[in-house]
């Protein structure tokens, strides 16, 4: 129970510190996610450009189908890999964001 003004100030300061720690974690993790998405987008564009160049250089239908099949397979595998990576990053974001609140709540329930 809150008894004095000093207790209220202390509680407010603790809450502000927890919120700032959480926001710091969000900022750091969102930057990592943005970098990962930008890298994937760049690589995906480069891969698709290379596939188009190969398709334009194909002399027959069989070669064109082979190039297209290889590109589709690599694009799918890259997408699945990237989706898994982003899922892990978002899970880590949630854990890191909640961690300061978890420790603050455990201290308050113990008191």
Contact 8, 2 (CB under 8 A): yes
* Model confidence at 111: pLDDT above 80: no
Task: Write the CA distances from 58 to 49, 50, 64, 73, integer angstroms.
Answer: 14, 12, 5, 18
pLDDT single digits (tens) 60-89: 999 999 999 999 999 999 999 999 999 999
- C-alpha to C-alpha distances, 89 to 22, 36, 61, nearest whole angstrom: 16, 9, 41
pLDDT in tens, 44-62: 999 999 999 999 999 999 9
What is the DSSP track for 17-57? Answer: HHHHHHHHHHHHHHHHHHHHHHHHHHHHHHHHHHHHHHHHH
| pLDDT tens readout for residues 84-108 | 999 999 999 998 888 877 776 676 6
């Amino acid at each position: 129970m809150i008894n004095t003004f000093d207790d209220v100030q202390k509680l407010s300061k603790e809450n502000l510190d927890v919120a700032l720690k959480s926001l710091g974690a969000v900022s750091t993790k969102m930057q990592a996610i943005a970098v990962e998405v930008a890298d994937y987008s760049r690589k995906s564009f480069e891969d698709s450009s290379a596939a188009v160049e190969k398709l334009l250089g194909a002399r027959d239908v069989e070669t064109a189908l082979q190039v297209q099949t290889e590109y589709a397979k690599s694009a799918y595998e890259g997408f699945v890999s990237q989706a898994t990576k982003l899922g892990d990053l978002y899970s880590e974001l949630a854990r890191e964001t909640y961690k300061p609140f978890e420790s603050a709540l455990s201290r308050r329930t113990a008191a």
